[in-house]
Amino acid sequence: MVIASASWMLGRAAVSPTQTPPTTSAILVARRSRAALVAMVITAAGSSEPGRAEPQLSQPPVDSGRMRSSLTPLGPPVSRDRVIATFPKWYTPEACLQLREHFHRQVSAACQRRNTGTVGLKLSKVVVVGDLYVGKTSLIHRFCKNVFDRDYKATIGVDFEIERFEIAGIPYSLQIWDTAGQEKFKCIASAYYRGAQVIITAFDLTDVQTLEHTRQWLEDALRENEAGSCFIFLVGTKKDLLSGAACEQVEAEAVHLAKEMQAEYWSVSAKTGENVKAFFSRVAALAFEQSVLQDLERRSSARLQVGDGELIRMEGSPPETQESKRPSSLGCC
Ligand SMILES: Nc1nc2c(ncn2[C@@H]2O[C@H](COP(=O)(O)OP(=O)(O)OP(=O)(O)O)[C@@H](O)[C@H]2O)c(=O)[nH]1
Ligand SMILES: [Mg+2]
């Protein structure tokens, strides 16, 4: 268990912007060793059997907004500010991915019964893209390490952080990929877009050009992923530098674009921390809910497939009866 909790906090050593630029192969080697560590952590976490199916409750759980569980927590504990018990709210209802303020009914029930399959072992991939200098690294560092650096250190290629949560009593982790905004690193960074469950397109609220460029960043990231498979967020950074009418005007433009992109809009400040935790909690909750629903669907369709087989014969039934009970789609032979 100690291995699990310590290793979740993998740092940025592999591609620190302060080092000389690594070659692509160096990045791949570093990534592989990190992947091995992540695999170790998953194995270690697996020993506590997160996501195991618990006996079903006799009464269906009430779908209340707040999720509480009297069962023992699964996996190693997470810090208190990573515990999500109520569904986090949107920033603005004008551009949000869902208006519900509580967990999906089926998700609530599955969490209460600890019937969330492999979701507790999953690392959901979040990719942050956007122009250079918009504050992608600062946003991630504020959330993951609670620090802010005034000095600009360009990200070289990619970097990632793993953040553990406990959502509705179930452990859940986000793997947050920080990509370089500089053109010369784009081909390295874009190799990491694939398999994203969440795409965050960031722009600087004080630089309207960076907002315009988010369309292109999103298009590039979506090209590497299946259509309709990703949650998209549009995030305006450096909110501390803008206020009043100027802020409202940029936000209105951004909300308009977010609707076009089918994205959820947020304004944040890595410097002051404003909205940073709320934003990532929202990302985690939406990704978690989707993961649980997908897992439930996958398991129920697997059960259906098993049920479609012809291996079970009812003892004592005449062959004609068995024949007539076959689904017609199976044909005559
Ligand atoms: N005032 C203010 N400055 C910020 C904020 N976020 C980032 N910055 C500053 O903006 C500059 C760029 O921030 P980074 O986070 O390095 O930008 P980036 O998008 O990661 O840049 P690349 O890695 O080159 O793509 C740094 O000097 C930060 O200190 C913020 O919320 N408020
Ligand atoms: Mg950066």
In this structure, the number of other CB atoms found within 10 A of the CB of residue 104 comes to 17
Mean pLDDT on 26-50: 38
* Residue 274 Cβ contacting ligand 1 at under 6 Å: no
* Distance (Å) of CA 20 to CA 11, 157, 313: 17, 12, 68
pLDDT digit string, tens, across residues 245-276:
999 999 999 999 999 999 999 999 999 999 99
State if residue 134 touches ligand 1 by the CB under 6 angstroms criterion: yes
What tokens appear for 285 in the block? 């909750």
pLDDT over 80 (residue 141): yes
Residue 138 Cβ < 6 Å to ligand 1: yes
Q: Domain segments of the chain: what residues? A: 1-14+28-45, 80-302
Measured CA to CA in angstroms, residue 38 lies from 51, 89, 154, 172 at distances of 18, 31, 25, 14
Distance, in Å, from the CA atom of 22 to the CA atom of 24, rounded to the nearest integer, reads: 7
CA atoms of 131 and 112, how far apart (whole Å) = 42
The verdict on the CB of residue 169 being under 6 Å from ligand 1 is no
pTM exceeding 0.85: no
CATH ID of 80-302, from 3.40.50.150, 3.40.50.300, 2.40.100.10, 3.40.50.720: 3.40.50.300
Whether the per-residue pLDDT at 284 is higher than 50: the answer is yes
Report which of residues 201 and 14 the model is more confident about: 201
Q: Best of 19, 133, 159 to mutate for ligand 1, by most ligand atoms within 8 A of CB?
A: 133
Q: Which long-range contacts (CB under 8 A, 24 or more apart) does 257-262 make?
A: 257/211, 257/214, 257/215, 258/95, 258/234, 259/94, 259/95, 261/201, 261/214, 261/215, 261/218, 261/232, 261/234, 262/232
pLDDT confidence band for 326 (50 / 70 / 90)? very low
pLDDT of residue 29: 38
Q: What pLDDT is recorded for position 304?
A: 65
- DSSP assigned state of 6: H
User: With 60 as the cut, is the pLDDT of residue 31 above it?
Assistant: no
Please give the residue that has the higher pLDDT: either 31 or 209: 209
Predicted local distance difference test score (pLDDT) of residue 307: 56
Report the nearest-CA residue for atom 16 of ligand 1. Answer: 152
pLDDT of 333 higher than 60: no
CA of 220 to the centre of ligand 1 (A): 22
Task: Please determine, for residue 18, whether its predicted confidence score (pLDDT) is greater than 50.
Answer: no
In this structure, how many other beta carbons lie within 10 angstroms of the beta carbon of residue 102?
14
* C-beta 208 within 6 A of ligand 1: no
Q: Please tell me the distance from the alpha carbon of residue 94 to that of residue 258, in angstroms, as a whole number.
A: 9
Residues 6+ apart with CB under 8 A from 301: none
Per-residue pLDDT, 10: 31
Taking Cα atoms as reference points, which of 122, 287, 320, 133 lies closest to residue 210? 133
Mutate to test the pocket of ligand 1, among 138, 140, 178, 274 (most ligand atoms within 8 A of CB): 138
Q: Is the CB of 45 under 6 A from ligand 1?
A: no
pLDDT, the chain, mean: 78
Mean pLDDT of 182-202: 95
Q: Is 12 in the pocket of ligand 1 (CB under 6 A)?
A: no
Token pair in block for residue 172: 């859940």
Please tell me the residue having the least CA distance from ligand 1 atom 8.
Answer: 135
Find the 158 Cα to ligand 2 centroid distance in Å. 8
Contact of 161 with 140, CB cutoff 8 Å: yes
State the pLDDT confidence band at 122, using cuts at 50, 70 and 90. Answer: confident
- Exposure pattern of 279-312 as b/e (b: 16+ CB <10 Å)? bbbbbbbbbbbbbbeebbeeeeeeeeeeeeeeee
